[in-house]
């Protein structure tokens, strides 16, 4: 093991060699593209052009890698939803549009990664537990958002579930719509989710944010 560690350190520190971020990024890309079965040390070492022993300089074990992959997913896909659900807003429509920012900007929420982790969770109870916890965190934040805007407890809970399940379901079904189509339906979605009409200023602000995120603004 001393020899392996020494080789790993040499590989890790040599110019042009791998970093922890290289391994983690490749693992997540592989998960999205091919599934968890292809997230293997030997396969990734070959792709990174390093010895497989270098893996152990950054990770204690394959399980450690899996744990860090899930941490990255939680940080990337759950954190932004919680932050935007908690952001101060003058109306419930503005609050929902804050959350919608996650749906139009993959820097805030990566739908491909979300689907890949959910597929992984179907086969691994320990991953399912993490996913279920993240879903509950997201739902609690959305429910709290409705509560702060005067909705009764049961109404807030149901509206949060409808909002969240609608979007996650759209990603799971791999439904793709261009921005113009999505903009044309934003008012109707808001009315369905909260029963209130957004102002023109609220819609214009969201459209500007979405266009900027897509590189069209």
Residue 7 has pLDDT above 70, yes or no: no
Nearest by Cα to 37 from 120, 130, 109, 154: 120
Q: Are 197 and 182 in contact (CB under 8 A)?
A: no
pLDDT of residue 141: 98
Separation of alpha carbons 130 and 96, rounded Å: 25
Q: Are 129 and 117 in contact (CB under 8 A)?
A: no
More confident of the two residues 17 and 107 = 107
pLDDT of residue 39: 97
Residue 8 has pLDDT above 70, yes or no: no
Query: Mean pLDDT in the chain?
Result: 91
More confident of the two residues 34 and 176 = 34
Cα 117–chain centre separation: 9
Rg of the chain taking only CA atoms, in angstroms? 21
> How far separated are the first and last CA of the chain, in Å rounded?
54
The CATH architecture that domain 2-59 belongs to is: Orthogonal Bundle (1.10)
Q: Are 179 and 104 in contact (CB under 8 A)?
A: yes
pLDDT of residue 177: 83
Separation of alpha carbons 69 and 18, rounded Å: 17
Q: Are 62 and 41 in contact (CB under 8 A)?
A: yes
Comparing 48-57, 69-78, 93-102, the range with the smallest average pLDDT is 48-57
Domain boundaries, the chain: 2-59, 63-214
Separation of alpha carbons 54 and 5, rounded Å: 8
- pLDDT above 70 coverage of the chain, percent: 92
Backbone dihedral region for residue 95 (phi beyond 0: left; psi -120 to 50: alpha; all else: beta) = alpha
Separation of alpha carbons 155 and 168, rounded Å: 20
Separation of alpha carbons 189 and 81, rounded Å: 18
Q: How many beta carbons lie within 10 A of that of residue 126, not counting itself?
A: 11
Residue 99 has pLDDT above 90, yes or no: yes
Is residue 121 within a helix (H) or strand (E), and if so which, with residue range?
Answer: helix 111-121
Confidence of residue 146 (pLDDT cuts 50, 70, 90): very high
């Amino acid at each position: 093991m001393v020899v392996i560690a020494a080789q790993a350190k040499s590989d890790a520190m040599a110019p042009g060699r791998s970093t922890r971020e290289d391994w983690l990024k490749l693992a997540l890309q592989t998960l999205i593209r091919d599934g968890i079965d292809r997230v293997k040390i030997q396969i990734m070492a070959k792709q990174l052009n390093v010895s497989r022993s270098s893996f152990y300089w950054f990770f204690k074990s394959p399980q450690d890698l899996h744990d860090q992959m899930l941490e990255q997913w939680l940080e990337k896909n759950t954190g932004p939803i919680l932050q935007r659900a908690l952001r101060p807003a003058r109306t419930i429509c503005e609050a929902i549009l804050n959350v919608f920012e996650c749906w139009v900007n993959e820097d805030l929420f990566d739908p491909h990664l979300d689907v890949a982790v959910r597929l992984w969770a179907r086969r691994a109870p320990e991953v399912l537990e993490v996913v279920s916890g993240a879903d509950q965190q997201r739902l609690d934040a959305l429910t709290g958002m409705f509560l702060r805007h005067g909705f009764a407890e049961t109404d807030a809970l149901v509206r949060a579930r409808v909002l969240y399940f609608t979007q996650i379901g759209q990603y799971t079904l791999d439904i793709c719509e261009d921005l113009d189509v999505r903009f044309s339906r934003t008012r109707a979605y808001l009315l369905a989710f909260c029963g209130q009409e957004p102002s023109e200023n609220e819609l214009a602000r969201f459209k500007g944010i979405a266009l900027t995120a897509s590189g069209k603004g």
